[in-house]
Amino acid sequence: MKIENFSTLGNKTNGIKAKKTDMERLVLENQRLLEELSGLQQINREYKSIIYHASHDLKGPLNNIVSLVNLMIEAKDLEEIDSLSKPVLRSISKFKTSLNELILIKKNENEPEKNGIVNIKTVLNEVIESINGQIMESGAVLTKALQITQVHFPRKNLRSILFNLISNAIKYKSADRIPTIHVSSFRQGEFVVIAVLDNGTGIRKENMDKLFTKFGTLHDESYPGESLGIGLFLVKKLLEESGGKIEVESEWAKGSVFNAYLNQK
């Protein structure tokens, strides 16, 4: 009788151990699923970022082509048309390059772009060339004073930051004066700061809190149907992801200066 009791107790113990093992397996499986879910959420965030990048990288050359074609339509002689045709072809080439980059994203989506030594002047010149039609059409005067030319930062991200800041300075130019844009760089502590100064319309104080929010708009009489939301939201995101930041000083009807802080630690 006692032997039978011990046998029954042993069976119960084995059953408890089996249930415990099953529970541990469930816990491990749950942890694995949570990790996979977290990974999928990260991929989703990355794809959203890619979409924002793509929309701006493709919109730049397209806007440039439109601006240049408008200038060609208004041209008075064949020599002027010929001089405008070359930047049109360059913009088309840039558009095709951007499309090819999108095709390649899938192949290296698990290999995010790493920091490398990038020449600010080179990237800035590329950005200027990509929007030269808008610069010519607006009559903007762009100057630069780069104390620092080498920076540790992802090249594509730097291009997006410069593109957004400069194209916004052109877009929100004042109707009362020739638009002037000044790009400078200097070191401040652990940061290299790239400053983009303009003499545009400026930003009203009540709109400053909307400036860097996703889809934040500055709809008023000065910005009919326009939005700074996605572009500046992206700039802020790219800088903060690498330990940097962006600051802005603006005075209504006088202009703005955007300071992009690139972390060099």
Residue-range domains of the chain with CATH: 1-111 (1.10.287.130), 113-265 (3.30.565.10)
pLDDT at 149: 97
Alpha-carbon span 124 to 105, nearest angstrom: 23
Would you place residue 121 in the very low, low, confident or very high pLDDT band (cuts 50, 70, 90)?
very high
DSSP code at position 151:
E
Cβ atoms of 231 and 168 within 8 Å: the answer is yes
CB atoms within 10 A of CB 108: 9
Render pLDDT for 41-62 as a digit per residue (tens, 0 to 9).
665 665 666 566 566 667 777 8
Alpha-carbon span 250 to 190, nearest angstrom: 25
Cβ atoms of 226 and 170 within 8 Å: the answer is no
Q: What average pLDDT does range 139-148 have in this prediction? A: 97
Of 232, 233, 210, the residue nearest 220 (C-alpha): 210
Of 206, 156, 161, 203, the residue nearest 185 (C-alpha): 161
Render pLDDT for 147-167 as a digit per residue (tens, 0 to 9).
999 999 999 889 989 988 998
More confident residue, 141 or 29: 141
| Buried b or exposed e, range 234-262, using 16+ CB within 10 angstroms | bbbbbbeebebebebebeeeebbbbbbbb
| Percent of the chain scoring above 90 in pLDDT | 35
Question: What value does the mean pLDDT of the chain take?
Answer: 79
Alpha-carbon span 205 to 193, nearest angstrom: 24
For the cut 70, the answer to whether the pLDDT of residue 24 exceeds it is yes
Q: Would the pTM count as exceeding 0.75? A: no
- What are the helix (H) ranges across the chain? 2-74, 78-105, 120-130, 132-138, 155-171, 229-241
Q: What average pLDDT does range 173-183 have in this prediction? A: 95
pLDDT at 222: 42
